[in-house]
Structure 1
């Protein structure tokens, strides 16, 4: 059965406390679901001018961890926010905007082109400044990076480690939620991950050994 995670946004704390705007968004999502279960709901209370959206990142992480589809009630209110659009485009998750059901990664990519173009111009100016600094004899990069290069650090091993760390961070907020409910043992967390349909690192169900490794990875950052 297809699973869904919803993302709702209101601009002010007053709207969040009063439910102003939320009921319409929830109603639109409930109408789309037509009785199908919602795995999780993530509510963002912030100004549309801000680019940092922790609840959006949590929603995307939940989708990646569980294979769920992200549901957005209204894309039109968010269409001018480049950070939001680029997050959707690059998140690697399927999404559905209830008010624009034909929207896809290509659509949001086009909507974000202007902001992305400006970012590329800033990047080009930064690279030009670094090149000019290098031409003046300024040493770029840390000694640690140079030593790693000299020792021939395995890129594949680094890539695997980074992928595992990214996966752990996607699951972290789920574990935080489980712990907040009073489930703190490795066995209990393992059971809750399986109950929430979070795939194990190699697919299938979680074992306590895999959970221990995940918790150690999160503890060491």
Structure 2
């Protein structure tokens, strides 16, 4: 049975299909049938009206943003409507959003496994090329290895990089919340506690999946400038 939050993404190829519901209703029925039972909530349903040949999909971007905002899973009715589009797969992978296809629920894990296999193969090839290059360099008399103290320098560099990654994620989350917090302020919420309450009422989790407090809101606002 389905568990958690979901954002449904539907695609119809023409404006006529979008107006008539041709194809759209079948996708909606499939998604709702899949979600029937269990503990779940459908945060939003987003409809894209476009040609399958196009790679720019503004509604897909909107759906992925909602998934990231609510910590939700993107759900689609038919895998073939999206998987054959390289731009979609690339966008989805870069977003870090989990997805489920009603007609092939295992596709999420399968896709990850395939990507992992490709990455593993590439890493092995790089390793083999590196070893061959080092062997050739050693044969030429090139001195290999790090200079004294270089190991600590590299460790510090990696540590600094890790801090940058964490900061970038926090900044991205703050930017993602800016529009929502702006709407909450415009509705009359003034205090940090009021904003936190409004975020919780909208079902928007914190970066760690918890509920909001005034302190957490203050940190996000500080990051927003």
Q: Judge same fold: TM > 0.5, yes or no.
A: yes
> 8 Å contact 2:70–2:203 — kept in the other structure?
yes
Quote the Cα distance in structure 1 between the aligned partners of 2:11 and 2:188. Answer: 29
Offset of residue 2 of structure 1? 1.9
1:29-59 CA distance string (max 9 Å, x none) = 1111115431222222233222222322332
Shift of 1:217: 3.6
Q: Is the 8 Å Cα contact of residues 86 and 109 (structure 1) preserved in structure 2?
A: no
The residue correspondences of 1:41-190 to structure 2 (distance < 5 A) are: 41-104=45-108, 106-107=110-111, 154-172=160-178, 174-175=180-181, 178-179=183-184, 182=187, 185=190, 187-190=193-196
Shift of 1:100: 1.9
Which protein is bigger by CA-based radius of gyration?
Answer: 2
Q: Secondary structure in 2 aligned to 1:104?
A: helix
The whole-number CA distance in structure 2 between the counterparts of 1:172 and 1:48 is 32
- Residue 197 of structure 2 aligns to a residue in which SS? helix
Contact 1:89 1:108 in 2 (8 A): no
User: What is the aligned residue count?
Assistant: 178
Match of 1:195 in 2: 201
Q: Secondary structure at the match of 1:71?
A: strand
Look up the match of 1:127.
none
Instruction: Check conservation: 1:78, 1:84, Cα contact below 8 A.
Output: yes
Aligned pair in 2 of structure 1 residues 8, 169: CA closer, same or farther (>3 Å)? farther
The structure-2 alpha-carbon separation of the partners of 1:167 and 1:45, relative to structure 1 and needing over 3 Å to count, comes to same
**Structure 2 runs not aligned, ≥5 long:** 116-156
- Counterpart residue number, 1:34: 36
Unaligned runs of 5+ in 1: 112-151
- Work out the CA distance in 1 between the residues paired with 2:13 and 2:112: 21
Task: For 2:107 and 2:208, locate their aligned partners in 1 and report how far apart those are by CA, in whole Å.
Answer: 32
Partner of 1:24: 26
Cα distance in 1, alignment partners of residues 113 and 56 from structure 2: 19
Equivalent in the alignment of 1:211:
217
| CA RMSD after TM alignment | 3.3
Alignment match, 1:10: 12
1-structure distance, mates of 2:88, 2:96: 14
The SS at the match of 1:7 is strand
C-alpha separation in 2, matches of 1:100 and 1:181: 42
Cα separation, 2, equivalents of 1:73 and 1:62? 18
Report SS of the residue matched to 2:100: strand
